[in-house]
Amino acid sequence: MFGGPRGALRLSTLAQAPTKPPASSTLSLRRLDAVLSQTNDDLSSRIEALSRHFLGRPYKENPLKGSPNSPEVLTASLTGFDCVTYVETVLALARARRLRDFTEELQKIRYKHGQVQWSRRNHYMTDWIRNNLQNRVVEPVPLPAVPIVVRVRLLNTVPGLAPRQTRVKCIPKTAISRAEPYLQSGDLIFFASTRRNLDVFHVGILVRGPDSINLRHASRSQGRVVEQRLRDFLKANRMAGVIVVRPRQLAPVDAPGKLPA
């Protein structure tokens, strides 16, 4: 779940990882390279492999620190996540041709027009979806004959941003089962809040299993990145509905290759 408003950032880059952290919290970039080299250029396959690789990583409360008055610095960490940074990190890595492209992709995904400014950050997930639709990182999932409802929300949970009204278009909880045949591994799912002042309360990655659709997400209650059946998550949580988008396949010329260690 969201740990709180997503404010300004402090630098937490790959290069700044401790020299001798506990083995359980160390991500080997060479191992990550091996994972990526075993996947093809299909973005869905890469997202599935990367999201699986981070299972068990610790949940990190409010990983992007700061305030509207603090300088905005791009944060890139592979050692701990909240639900949003987990999705952003997996998606940015999946889109990267080389490891050095990762932060560029992350910047494009996290900020409107890729500009590293607090005011340009996608603080609300409806902004995240809209801006990444516009920059062609994601696309709508075709859902024929699946009902859509509209929830009106007055967004006012982020200090420093003026309150504003938005319309949240989502699949009602009772109709999610009708959407399941159209869902694919790698799709991103956003859970619409029942609160009148918040649009989305959680986000994760969908993976099709042999007999169920599973949800991979950074869980605050469980303290780590986990995988569970989507139906179990839906049963355990109140929500106004869900929004699903699909990462766009990269053009062949832009398809990611092996990332160096």
- On whether both 41 and 128 belong to a single domain, the answer is yes
Would residue 261 count as lying in a domain? no
- On whether both 117 and 128 belong to a single domain, the answer is yes
- On whether both 154 and 199 belong to a single domain, the answer is yes
Would residue 253 count as lying in a domain? no
- On whether both 147 and 227 belong to a single domain, the answer is yes
pLDDT for 96:
87
Q: Give the model confidence (pLDDT) of 173-202 as tens digits.
A: 999 999 999 999 999 999 999 999 999 999
Would residue 127 count as lying in a domain? yes
Residue 160 has pLDDT above 80, yes or no: yes
High-pLDDT (> 90) share of the chain, %: 69
Would residue 221 count as lying in a domain? yes
Q: Give the model confidence (pLDDT) of 113-125 as tens digits.
A: 999 999 999 999 9
Would residue 171 count as lying in a domain? yes
pLDDT for 140:
97
- On whether both 61 and 127 belong to a single domain, the answer is yes
SS3 of the chain: helix, strand, coil, percent, to 5: 35, 20, 45
- On whether both 48 and 100 belong to a single domain, the answer is yes
Would residue 42 count as lying in a domain? yes
- On whether both 68 and 58 belong to a single domain, the answer is yes
CA distance readout (Å), 135 to 118, 128, 169: 19, 11, 20
- On whether both 122 and 42 belong to a single domain, the answer is yes
Please tell me the total count of domains within the chain. 2
Q: What is the pTM of this model?
A: 0.85
pLDDT for 38:
63
Looking up residue 178, the CATH number of its domain turns out to be 2.30.260.10
User: Any residues with CB less than 8 A from the CB of 199 and at least 6 apart, and which?
Assistant: 124, 125, 126, 153, 155, 166, 168, 192, 193
Looking up residue 52, the CATH number of its domain turns out to be 1.10.3670.10
The answer to whether the beta carbons of residues 169 and 187 sit under 8 Å apart is: no
From the number of C-beta atoms within 10 Å of its C-beta (0-12, 13-18, 19+), residue 22 rates as exposed
Domain C-terminal end among 102, 136, 170: 136
Would residue 254 count as lying in a domain? no
Domain C-terminal end among 136, 156, 184: 136
- On whether both 115 and 190 belong to a single domain, the answer is no
Domain C-terminal end among 101, 119, 136: 136
Q: Domain of residue 185: give its range.
A: 138-247
pLDDT greater at residue 6 or residue 207? 207
Q: Which segments within the chain are labelled E, that is strand?
A: 138-140, 149-155, 164-170, 188-192, 200-208, 213-219, 224-229, 241-247
The answer to whether the beta carbons of residues 204 and 215 sit under 8 Å apart is: yes
The overall average pLDDT reported for the chain is 85
Would residue 12 count as lying in a domain? no
